[in-house]
Amino acid sequence: MKKYLLDTNVILRFLLQDNNKYYQIALNYFKKAQQKQIVLEIIPEVLFELDYVLRGVYHLSKNKVVDILSNLLKTPYLMIENRELMLTVVEKYQRINIDLFDLYLFYIAKYKKSEVLSFDEDFQKL
């Protein structure tokens, strides 16, 4: 079975439907994944970029972005690297004013029984 790593722009066109040509192409791939004809994978870095673009470029609220990320993470036909960890990070992201990536870094460090070395004072909140 053919496998694809999704780039942020494909997810954006699918979600925003702001370019009909690309939306239709993305929709077709998502349908094929749902029908188990192909595998679509999302790596965490794409989720971070998605957060950045949706909030910074499209000016969506943090709550709306959290809903989008949560829905993607809960989509069973998408293969998502570190799905459970990312769900934890996104849930925490909704409740605390810290960057998504910083939360991810914190939880990865915790998993590896390490600490984050950073000048960012946000880590003190955790």
pLDDT by residue, tens only, the chain of 126 residues: 999 999 999 999 999 999 999 999 999 999 999 999 999 999 999 999 999 999 999 999 999 999 999 999 999 999 998 999 999 999 999 999 999 999 999 999 998 999 989 888 887 777
**What is the reported pLDDT for 53?**
97
Q: What's the pLDDT at 113?
A: 94
Please count the structural domains in the chain: 1
- What 3-state class would DSSP assign to 16? helix
pTM of the model: 0.90
CA 70/CA 49 separation, integer angstroms = 15
In the prediction, which pLDDT does 122 show? 80
**Residue 104 lies inside a defined structural domain of this protein:** no
CB count, 10 Å around CB of 63?
9
pLDDT at site 56: 96
How confident is the model at residue 13, as a pLDDT? 97
Looking at residue 46, its pLDDT comes to 97
In-domain check, residue 78? yes
The answer as to whether 120 is a domain residue is: no
Residue 65 within a domain = yes
DSSP notation for 81-126: TTHHHHHHHHHHHHHS-S-HHHHHHHHHHHHTT-----S-GGGGG-
Domain assignment of residue 80, yes or no: yes
Any domain includes 63: yes
Per the listing, tokens 């915790």 go with 110
Chain centroid to CA 32: how far? Answer: 20
Residue 20, Cα to own-chain centre: how many angstroms?
23
**Could you tell me if residue 26 is inside a domain?**
yes
Cα separation, 66 vs 9, in Å, equals 18
105 domain-assigned:
no
Its domain, for residue 39, covers 2-97
